[in-house]
């Protein structure tokens, strides 16, 4: 839910090295290489020290001397080394730590940890209870790890190389000799702080800096959450780019462009391939830190290298490196550190409907009825804050959403195998007078579970219900308190199937604490709600002239097309604000990160707010949404008797995917945000939050028929599929326009036929961390023209999606990679695309999408898509095989089945599908394992080959062959997937 100020919609948004050696050889810059490292060590939680606010800071990093290595001790797993400040303290933006420790650990053969921390361990580190880090393997990896740690003694620096290619450009390189000469004026002219005055290692209490060289114009992906103007591939400033400043400070802001927003994910994937490389390779880098920070991707003018620079307001430099070498393997290896994604309920893949502004239970019923009458499948209905009494969590409005009415309504949904999800906001309203009663606050106050001011009083913010407090998830009693609130709500009328977590960055309408002197009886919000005369919702997407054509949003009015490319509406994005931010601790640290709101405390908690164990808000701010999801997950697990918790959270951090999915926030009803939704989904595959999608048809502003048609079509092929719009905007349920209803019915039917494929992909995500949605270069890593493609994507390795993303067009140019080795067939017609050109134009009428199956793959589909996911899952199965080119083609696929709701480990069945041959003969066979008993059978198959078909050795009559398409269709097969040995299908 966004915040609106004035009348403008805007979101809140090996051996011992003698110590004397360093002194003797320091001027010579000694280089050493090791191939092993130290045992894992845990750290005590950080407690905020007293900071001298009057100490002057130089604000000049060129004065910082860096560090020298003074001793090192190696082991079969890595090393531990001591660093000492190489000169006088520079006090750039804080107080220098004089002594550091470097721990290098080869945790697996593909994962290397380099942890640089202060010797006193006084800096904040993320508690293991929040993100449970893995231990190293028991293997001795000194001579087998793919990643090699190399270092220079004086000044200390390090670089990471591959054992298999030690002389290639390092994967990470902090040597000043590898970086451009300094000083460098502002690389991005309108952001003065992008000047580069020095590259020494800086480790101060409130400022850390580390820089690594990158290949010129490197292929970098990740580092979010962000709506990047450059697209999925990040702008490093090479070529025609200007560079990027990625700020890590969770913020409630309606999907701004090139600014920080709801989540922080300091991880990136880099892909390397050029004409001189034999094999393409990817690797990954993750900084395990929740610190407020800027991460800069820059290329100084004339430089032969690009660079990445980390500037952090605390924490430690705790890096993980992943060797890949494929993009999907990098993402899988990252999941081993921060946790694999939560198992999704089967029903979660159904179509879901929400609106901010459903008036009462009867309107919810009306939406369900109209969806049913329109034969548009509806799986889940959602409630926004309209549900609440006085906008208070865990309540229902006593008139519009009477608890008994909600119970009846949700029971009706359950009978129809549908589901209900309500919103839960982050803030808890304080009691306003002695006659007021509100159990969530009273119980929380008694249990002492709220965030405090430094003097021990409750920190007061302001959100929808008025003045509020905020749960402190570090409090040992917070879990029990939160579980009881959700449980009581569930048992008194709101039998939810899942929970929607919003405003959890954490968001407030005040700048820091607003409790001192505030009139707590005032429950109004300091802005006009959408639809108020001073805040009308009047904008349509670009091209639509509402003044001329009225408020319908139709594609045509009186036979005239309503789209005019000269018509523009107000944009939503802003450039990074240069040099905005805080100047003092208490208001903010000396270094100002590029927070889009300016002050770090703007529209959120004060940075000196305190949490249990003495944690400072400045250090733990970015963890609030993650911990909100974690606490809610554990509560739902108890309330719903062990069924898989379903949670969608707006704010996220590394590890959030273990507990929740994500929607891409308060987007805009504009064509550019239709396009942005693809890069957002691709980002969150890297972040290990694969269950993600956008507010379909747009949230802020009014949509129109054509935009909504194309968006409903696209979202049917993304993981999380929900339509949601803002208060007082025109309705955008899919039945509003006939063309949108047609598009929705058709594409939801395709989505539901693919549910077994979706479910299998997400089982692999939860088991192995494999991304279900892939950029094209993940599967075709040696085709550089694909490295920036983000207007197409792949579902798994089998399906290529090519949507229409612009108005007034019925064709689209797409990439169809793998020339000479891959055949692409139209999913709907089985027609084969020409494989003589990688880029081709295909016809995609309104309501349709480009969907192609890749040769060499096999997927299982549901034969009869139903109105709900449950009815679809009772349908028999069909098999679609597309053999690879040639007379001896092959194909492979798999199917994962379980009950769709039990928390893993649960009984399952996994079937591998193999095929070989061609039109002159071949066979399909299966390997089945597991204990789950599937209620469905394989009844239909399709492949390429045919004069005779045999099933299980018996001649089969129910088949047809289309020679033009090269397509064999086999009917009524009746193969039971539950046996360990399944019947073979063959043809000749």
User: What is d(CA 191, CA 122) in angstroms, rounded to the nearest whole number?
Assistant: 32
The pair of three-digit structure tokens given for residue 504, joined into one six-digit string:
């959890």
Q: How many helices (H) and strands (E) does the chain have?
A: 15, 51
- Report which secondary-structure segment, H or E, holds 133: none
663 near 536, Cβ under 8 Å?
A: no
CA distances from 293 to 133, 245, 290, 578, 966 (A): 21, 10, 9, 14, 56
Spacing of C-alpha 360 from chain mean position: 33
Rounded to the nearest 10 degrees, the angle between the axes of helix 738-753 and helix 705-715 is 0
Which tokens in the block code for residue 319? 């890096």
DSSP for residue 557: E
Overall residue count recorded for the chain in this entry = 988
Q: Among 502, 539, 705, 790, which one carries the catalytic annotation?
A: 502
Catalytic annotation present for 197: no
Q: Is 502 a catalytic residue?
A: yes
Cα 824 from Cα 814, distance rounded (Å): 12
* Rg of the chain over all Cα atoms, to the nearest angstrom: 29
Which residue in the list 542, 666, 704, 779 is annotated as catalytic? 666
Measured CA to CA, the distance from residue 391 to residue 592 in angstroms comes to 35
CA distance 508 to 190: 30
What number of CA atoms fall less than 13 Å from residue 120's CA on the CB side? 14
Quote the tokens at residue 393: 């969590």
Q: At what angle do helices 671-686 and 705-715 cross, to 10 degrees?
A: 20
Residue 899 neighbours by CB distance under 10 Å: 14
Q: Tell me if 967 sits within 8 A of 880, measured CB to CB.
A: no
Task: Determine the Cα–Cα distance for residues 140 and 528; give it in Å rounded to an integer.
Answer: 63
Identify whether the C-beta of residue 78 lies closer than 8 Å to the C-beta of residue 106: yes
Is 405 tagged catalytic?
Answer: no
Q: Which region, left, alpha or beta, applies to residue 572 given φ > 0 means left and ψ of -120 to 50 means alpha? A: alpha
Residues 6+ apart with CB under 8 A from 156: 66, 67, 68, 69, 83, 102, 201
Query: Per DSSP, what are the bridge partners of residue 4?
Result: 9
Tokens 């949904």, residue located: 413
Give me the helix-helix angle, 478-491 and 624-639, nearest 10°.
Answer: 50
Nearest one of 197, 158, 204, 196 to 177, comparing CA atoms: 158
Q: Which two tokens stand for residue 947?
A: 């004069």
Cα–Cα distance for residue pair 712/695, rounded to 1 Å: 10
Q: What is the C-alpha separation between 25 and 811, in angstroms, rounded?
A: 66
Q: What does DSSP assign to residue 463?
A: E
> Using CA atoms, how far apart are residues 150 and 170, in angstroms rounded to an integer?
10
Euclidean distance between CA atoms 638 and 341, whole angstroms: 19
Q: Which residues contact 908 (CB under 8 A, 6 or more apart)?
A: 763, 896, 897, 898, 930, 931, 932
Using CA atoms, how far residue 191 sits from 196, 244, 251, 259, 580, in Å, is 12, 10, 20, 13, 10
DSSP 642: T
Query: Quick one: residue 7, left, alpha or beta (phi over 0 = left, psi -120 to 50 = alpha)?
Result: alpha
| Catalytically annotated residue among 336, 505, 511, 764 | 505
Q: Which of 727, 724, 849 is nearest to 795 (CA)?
A: 849
Instruction: Determine contact, residues 213/236, Cβ cutoff 8 Å.
Output: no
Q: Which of 62, 79, 108, 130 is nearest to 615 (CA)?
A: 130
Residues labelled as active-site residues: 502, 505, 666
């Amino acid at each position: 839910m966004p915040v609106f100020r004035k009348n403008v919609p805007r979101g809140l948004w090996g051996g011992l090295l003698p110590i004397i050696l360093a002194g003797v050889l320091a001027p010579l810059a000694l280089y050493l290489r090791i191939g092993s490292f130290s045992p894992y060590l845990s750290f005590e939680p950080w407690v905020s020290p007293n900071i001298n606010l009057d100490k002057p800071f130089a604000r000049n990093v060129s004065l910082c001397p860096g560090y020298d290595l003074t001793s090192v001790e190696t082991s079969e797993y890595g090393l531990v080394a001591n660093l000492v400040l190489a000169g006088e303290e520079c006090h750039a933006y804080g107080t220098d730590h004089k002594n550091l420790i470097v721990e290098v650990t080869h945790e697996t053969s593909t994962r290397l940890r380099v942890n640089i921390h202060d010797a006193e361990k006084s800096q904040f580190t993320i508690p293991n209870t929040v993100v449970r880090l893995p231990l190293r393997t028991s293997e001795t990896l000194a001579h087998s790890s793919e990643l090699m740690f190399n270092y220079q003694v004086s000044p200390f620096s390090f670089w990471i190389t591959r054992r298999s290619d030690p002389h290639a450009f390092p994967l990470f390189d902090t040597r000043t000799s590898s970086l451009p000469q300094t000083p460098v004026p502002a690389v991005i002219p309108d952001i003065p702080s992008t000047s580069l005055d020095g590259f020494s290692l800086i480790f101060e209490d409130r400022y850390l800096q580390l820089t690594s060289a990158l290949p010129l114009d490197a292929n970098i992906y990740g580092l979010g959450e962000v709506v990047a103007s450059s697209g999925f591939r990040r702008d490093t400033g090479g070529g025609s780019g200007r560079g990027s400043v990625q700020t890590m400070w969770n913020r409630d802001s309606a999907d701004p462009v090139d600014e920080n927003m709801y989540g922080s994910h300091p991880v990136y994937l880099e892909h390397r391939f050029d004409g001189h490389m034999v094999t393409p390779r990817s690797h990954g880098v993750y900084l395990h830190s929740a610190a407020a920070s800027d991460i800069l991707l820059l290329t100084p003018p004339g430089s032969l290298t690009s660079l990445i620079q980390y500037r952090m307001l605390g924490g430690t430099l705790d890096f993980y490196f992943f060797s890949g070498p494929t993009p999907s393997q990098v993402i899988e290896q990252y999941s081993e550190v921060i946790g694999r994604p939560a198992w999704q309920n089967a029903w979660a893949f159904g179509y879901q409907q929400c609106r901010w502004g459903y008036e009462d239970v009867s309107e919810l019923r009306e939406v369900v009825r109209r969806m049913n009458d329109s034969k548009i499948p509806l799986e889940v209905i959602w409630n926004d804050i309209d549900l609440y009494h006085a906008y208070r969590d865990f309540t229902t409005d006593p008139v519009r959403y009477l608890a008994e009415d909600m119970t009846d309504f949700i029971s009706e949904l359950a009978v129809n195998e549908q589901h209900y999800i309500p919103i839960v906001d982050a803030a808890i309203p304080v009691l306003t007078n002695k006659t007021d009663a509100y159990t969530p606050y009273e119980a929380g106050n008694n249990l002492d579970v709220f965030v405090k001011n430094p003097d021990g009083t409750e920190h007061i913010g302001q959100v929808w219900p008025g003045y509020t407090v905020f749960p402190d998830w570090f409090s040992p009693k917070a879990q029990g308190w939160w579980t009881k609130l959700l449980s009581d709500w569930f048992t008194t009328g709101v039998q939810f199937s899942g929970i929607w977590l919003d405003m959890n960055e954490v968001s407030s309408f005040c700048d820091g604490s607003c409790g001192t002197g505030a009139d707590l009886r005032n429950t109004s919000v300091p802005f006009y709600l959408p639809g108020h005369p001073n805040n009308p919702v009047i904008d349509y997407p670009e091209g639509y002239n509402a003044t001329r054509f009225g408020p319908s949003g139709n594609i045509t009015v009186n036979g005239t097309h309503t789209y005019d490319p000269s018509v523009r509406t107000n944009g939503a994005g802003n450039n990074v604000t240069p040099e905005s931010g805080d100047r003092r601790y208490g208001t903010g640290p000396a270094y100002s990160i590029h927070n889009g709101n300016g002050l770090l405390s703007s529209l959120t908690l004060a940075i000196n707010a305190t949490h249990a164990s003495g944690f400072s808000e400045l250090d733990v701010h970015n963890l609030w949404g993650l911990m909100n999801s974690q606490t809610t997950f554990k509560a739902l697990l108890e309330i719903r008797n062990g069924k898989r918790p379903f949670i969608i959270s707006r704010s996220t951090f590394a590890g959030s995917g273990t507990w929740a999915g994500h929607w891409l926030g308060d987007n805009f009803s504009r064509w550019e945000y239709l396009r942005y939704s693809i890069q957002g989904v691709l980002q969150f595959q890297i972040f290990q939050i694969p269950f993600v999608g956008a507010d379909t048809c747009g949230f802020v502003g009014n949509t129109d028929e054509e935009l909504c048609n194309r968006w409903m079509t696209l979202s049917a092929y993304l993981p999380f599929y929900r339509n949601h719009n803002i208060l007082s905007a025109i309705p955008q349920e899919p039945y509003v326009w006939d063309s949108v209803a047609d598009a929705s019915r058709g594409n939801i039917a395709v989505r539901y036929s693919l549910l077994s494929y979706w479910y299998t992909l997400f089982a692999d995500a939860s088991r192995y961390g494999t991304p279900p949605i892939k950029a094209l270069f993940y599967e075709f890593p040696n085709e550089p023209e694909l490295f920036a493609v983000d207007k197409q994507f792949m579902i798994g390795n089998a399906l290529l999606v090519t949507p229409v993303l612009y108005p007034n067009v019925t064709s689209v140019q797409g990439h169809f990679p793998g020339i000479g080795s891959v055949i692409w067939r139209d999913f709907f017609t089985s027609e084969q695309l020409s494989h003589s050109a990688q880029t081709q134009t295909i016809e995609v009428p309104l309501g349709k999408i480009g969907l192609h199956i890749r040769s060499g793959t096999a997927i299982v589909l549901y034969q009869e898509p139903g109105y709900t996911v449950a009815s679809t899952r009772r349908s028999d199965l069909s098999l679609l095989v597309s053999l690879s080119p040639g007379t001896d083609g092959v194909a492979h696929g798999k199917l994962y089945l379980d009950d769709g709701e039990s928390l893993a480990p649960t009984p399952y069945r996994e079937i591998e599908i193999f095929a070989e041959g061609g039109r002159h003969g071949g066979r399909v066979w299966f390997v089945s394992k597991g204990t789950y008993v599937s209620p469905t059978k394989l009844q239909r198959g399709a492949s390429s080959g045919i004069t005779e078909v045999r099933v299980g050795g018996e001649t089969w009559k129910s088949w047809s062959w289309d020679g033009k398409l090269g397509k064999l269709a086999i009917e009524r097969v009746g193969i039971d997937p539950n046996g360990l040995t399944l019947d073979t299908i063959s043809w000749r």
